[in-house]
Amino acid sequence: MSIIKKASAHWEGDLKSGIGSISTETNVLNKAPYGFKARFEGGKGTNPEELIGAAHAGCFSMALSMILGEANLKADSIDTEAQVTLEQLADGFSITAVHLILKAKIPGATQQQFDELTRKAKEGCPVSKVLNAKITLDATLVS
């Protein structure tokens, strides 16, 4: 089975003063602005790293939900933050790391189960698999 999802970007102008927009086929993002200031200077709009972080946090959370179900567990809540590191290296900018921060409430889960299942979710999430970056996880089981 193959699934193809589509997104697009439009850009006008040079790097620093130009502006772009990003859209998704579902229109959740519809010409959302992005540019140099949003990426490097804290300006308004979005940026690729933020979008990768959102995708990774969402993918990991869904993967964990699936893995919990396979272990006959169900989360009351899964809250994941993804911190994406963009670094300037000798050959240019690169996303070098993603740090996932998880807080999950899972009735009946032991700490040992939780640690094993969250590790499996981190490694098995399709977004984790596609990133050429160090991926780390801090996971907290909330009682």
Query: pLDDT for 96-135, tens place per residue?
Result: 999 999 999 999 999 999 999 999 999 999 999 999 899 9
45 lies in some domain? no
Residues 61 and 107 in one domain: yes
126 SS3 class: helix
Residues 68 and 106 in one domain: yes
Residues 92 and 71 in one domain: yes
Handedness of CA 93, 46, 58, 4 (dihedral sign): negative
Parent domain of 22? 7-40
The number of folded domains in the chain is: 2
One DSSP character per residue, 39-92 reads HHS--SSB-HHHHHHHHHHHHHHHHHHHHHHHTT---SEEEEEEEEEEEEETTE
Over the stretch 89-104, which tens digit does the pLDDT of each residue have?
999 999 999 999 999 9
Mean residue pLDDT of the chain comes to: 95
Q: Are 72 and 125 in contact (CB under 8 A)?
A: no
Residues 69 and 17 in one domain: no
